[in-house]
Amino acid sequence: MNRMRKGKHGQAMTEYIIIVAIIALAALAVFGLFGDRIRAMIGGAVTDLGGDQSEVDTATETKSADYLKTLGTETTP
């Protein structure tokens, strides 16, 4: 009986991992599609709150698609 319960527990854990992976992929897709718009909105908020305009310009110049292409290929010094 305990053997059967352990098998179901492992199965449930696998299902949770699959669900988390699907949600992560969906989040990446949404950020890829709407990232430029979100970045522009946040840049406007930073400017309104007294941030430096040059920082906003630098952040909004980078396109989301370009950022996603280089994701994981950057090396840290």
38-65: average pLDDT: 70
Count how many domains the chain has.
Answer: 1
pLDDT tens digits, 33-50: 888 888 888 777 777 777
45 belongs to a structural domain:
yes
Task: Extract the tokens encoding 39.
Answer: 């970045």
76 belongs to a structural domain:
no
32 belongs to a structural domain:
yes
Kindly report which listed range (28-32, 44-48, 57-61, 73-77) carries the lowest average pLDDT score: 73-77
47 belongs to a structural domain:
yes
What are the start-end ranges of the H helices in 1-77? 2-48, 53-61, 64-70
pTM strictly above 0.75: no
75 belongs to a structural domain:
no
Choice between 15 and 45, residue whose per-residue pLDDT is larger: 15
34 belongs to a structural domain:
yes
- Domain of residue 21 covers 2-70
Kindly report which listed range (5-9, 21-25, 32-36, 60-64) carries the lowest average pLDDT score: 5-9
CA distance readout (Å), 60 to 22, 30, 38, 48: 28, 17, 10, 15
CA-based nearest residue to 64, from 36, 29, 22: 36
77 belongs to a structural domain:
no
Q: Measured between alpha carbons, how far is 77 from 71 in angstroms, rounded to an integer?
A: 16
62 belongs to a structural domain:
yes
